[in-house]
Chain A
Amino acid sequence: MKKGLAIVLGVALLAGCRSSKPPPPVPLHVEEAQRAAAQAAKLSEEANWAAAAKQWDLAADFYFLLNDRTNAAIALHNLGQAYRGGDDFASAEQALAEAAKINEELGRRKEWFRNYLALAQVAANAGDTNVQAKRLEVLSKAVTEIPEPELKGTFHNEMGLWRLEQGRFSEAAEALERAESYFKEAKDRYGVATVRANEAKLYERQGNYPAAMDSWQVALGDFEALANPAGITRSLLGLGRTLLLANQDLPKAEDLLRRAARNYETLKKPKELQEAQTLLAKCLKAQGKTE
């Protein structure tokens, strides 16, 4: 009897269940800040760096007005990344350093680690090797506290690139290998593809052209699967360059370099475009073509 009554009550309640109450309205200024941040995130995703920088700056201002330092630090970090994307390394460093300072004060170690990683990348992009070395040293002391394999992978990738620049190939290979395993653990396909491309460059620098070609090919396949234009173009350029350096299949190298140059033109990356054009000129010369 009781069971039956419970079933009837349950069915009645289930049938009469109405929608949950609407969430309380978000205060106007919070909504304003959230909207600015969401817009800025979209612009960053589209690699529209100038617009993204303006929007992140606005979002940071809104969060500071609300005394929400956590989100302000996030906005500052992404502002720094937007500046970095636009090759304004001084502004990028300033924004990232401010974000790192806030996160350190708030005791947010993971966020601070991200800020510092970005700072190391900015130093690498700016060619400031001393600063890069210092930052990597600081990061290497803190990396054991960080549980995220994704962040660890990014750190080891940076270490690998740093050692590659120094010509310490075996250490670079070791670091890149560790980075790849961390990215695999985190199921970060972009990270894995990036490490493979960097490994290809390492093989290229070592003069191991067959291994380099294989790695570039694998990286190209990975980036194509991810539909990542920057990665695809970098792999095309790398493969073309390796073929040129190995003096193998120069028509194919020419085709790859032409495709890379065209893509860099579309992506509006003048520095990389120049590199592709220089390599293309060399390739044409090697084939005895005058163009």
Chain B
Amino acid sequence: MPLQDLTPQLRTRLSRVERLVGLFVTVATILLIVGLTYYVVQTAKRKGWGRQKLPYFLLIDSATGLQLGSRVRLMGFDIGEITQITAGEPYDPYNVFVQIRVWEPYFGYIWADSRAKILSADFLGGRFIEVTKGTNAPPSFLFYELRTVSIKDAQGLVDRPNVVLGQEIYVTNQMVLGAFAPLTSSNYNTIAQLGIANVKIIDKGVKTKKPEGMWDDKTATYQPVPVENKGYWLQVEESPALTERLERVVNAVEEALPDFLGLTNKLASVLTNAAAIFTHADDLLVTAKPALTNLTARLDTVLASSDKTIITAQTNINLVVSNLVVTLENVGNLTSNLNAQVQANGFILRQISDLIVHSDEAVQGLKRHWLLKGAFGPGTNQAPESVVKPRLE
């Protein structure tokens, strides 16, 4: 029916409904936009969008438990993610190449003495990378102007407040000047005496947004960042994967088992020998009775046989004791492996405790929720009252 055919009252009512629908659509759109924006902001934070990222790489024995996109940590913060995991060349000493990207500003904490630790994350064999903060070495990437100047030109820069060395100076494996050492006249003289033709200089007065240099451990200098940069090599302290640890424990048990079995076999032979001794002794006693006349001769025989038996028993006991020592050592290895296992997963109790506490908090929250609180009964610890009951005679 066309709108014009409706009564004025109905038309007014319909236009109200239209306005209401319009308002609802507007509110829903605003909510959608706000939600989407929030999601995008959170994702950007999580993924490090809009922040400078620098590559680092690790060479490790096994990729077990590592995944692309897994977080990398430093001092408890997520500082980047794993971007590449590939197997090394067949003849490479290292098995796996792992590349990570570290977000701004965390690469400032990674210096030449930083180490990457591959740690167990859970009981299911997951592992993660944790980078340690540098303490006493040059930063991995340089964000100041880097120049290579001749020793002659360097003379003109002596005693300038912002000018420092961009390399380490060695005299037969002994470092005499470290990177970032100021270019004082005495330091300049030291360099000049060593006959170094060119020297790398950092001007701390000129900061750069992009990294000017990357520390090279081989030459102990900052080198310009190459275009195809696979990153700075982080040395690794790799803890073996859970499966490997378990395998080691099983191997230790496997190694210990034959010793246990050997021990029981030896014990059986000792017992057999002891039984034989008693049999011999019994025979001797039986034969000794009628042989009183040749007692001395028989006694000699008995003593000789006893001596032999004792020597055999002593040998067997020595063997048993030595086997026992080996067994105990194996048991010791076993317990130390278990101890290492417990140490590596030390956080699990805490995590279980947190899980219980959070579950309790969740249930307490549900108990207070307006919709669900009716499903829970009243508190059991009600305030006590004075009780007096009628007496029954």
Contact = CB atoms under 8 A, between A and B. Distances in A.
A283 interface: no
B364 interface: yes
A37 B384 contact: yes
Nearest to A223: B392
Interface string B365-393: 11011110100000011111111111111
Instruction: Among B373, B385, B392, find the residue whose CB has the most chain A CB atoms closer than 10 A.
Output: B392
Interface string B1-36: 000000000000000100110011000000000000
B23 A5 contact: yes
A146 B24 CA distance: 61
A19 B365 contact: yes
A115 B381 contact: no
A215 interface: no
A38 B369 contact: no
Contacts of A241: none
A97 interface: no
A198 B393 contact: yes
A contact residues, range: 35 or more
B30 to A, nearest CB: 13
A205 B382 CA distance: 42
B392 A20 contact: no
Interface stretch (A86-94, A156-164, A244-252, A254-262): A156-164
Contacts of B387: 44, 77-78, 81
Given A1-B19, A34-B383, A161-B393, A117 B388 contact: yes
Interface string B304-343: 0000000000000000000000000000000000000000
Nearest to B368: A19
Given A4-B16, A158-B391, A22 B368 contact: yes
Contact of B392 (A4, A111, A231): A231
Contact of B384 (A22, A40, A153, A195): A40
Contacts of A18: 369
A22 B386 contact: no
Contacts of B388: 77, 81, 114, 117-118, 121, 151, 154
Contacts of A198: 392-393
A279 interface: no
B392 A114 contact: no
Contacts of B368: 19-22
Nearest to A20: B368
Contact of B385 (A4, A21, A74, A99): A74
A198 B393 CA distance: 6
Interface size class, chain B? 20 to 34
Contacts of B393: 161, 164, 197-198, 201
Given A1-B20, A8-B24, A18-B369, A161 B391 contact: yes
Contacts of B384: 37-38, 40-41, 59, 71, 74-75, 78
A35 interface: yes
Contacts of B390: 153-154, 157-158, 179, 183, 190-191, 194-195
Contact of A17 (B23, B370, B380, B386): B370
A34 B19 CA distance: 58
A267 interface: no
Contacts of A81: 387-388
Contacts of A99: 386
Which of A38, A111, A190 gathers the greatest number of chain B CB atoms within 10 Å?
A38
B230 to A, nearest CB: 50
A195 B380 CA distance: 31
Interface string A1-23: 10011001000000001111110
Given A20-B370, A71-B384, 20 more contacts: A1-B16, A1-B19, A4-B20, A17-B371, A21-B368, A77-B388, A78-B386, A99-B386, A114-B388, A121-B391, A154-B388, A154-B389, A161-B393, A164-B393, A179-B390, A190-B389, A194-B392, A195-B390, A198-B392, A198-B393
22 contacts: A19-B365, A19-B366, A20-B370, A22-B364, A22-B368, A35-B381, A37-B384, A59-B384, A71-B383, A71-B384, A73-B386, A75-B384, A77-B387, A78-B386, A81-B388, A111-B386, A114-B388, A154-B390, A158-B390, A161-B391, A164-B393, A194-B391
Interface of B: 16, 19-20, 23-24, 364-366, 368-371, 373, 380-393
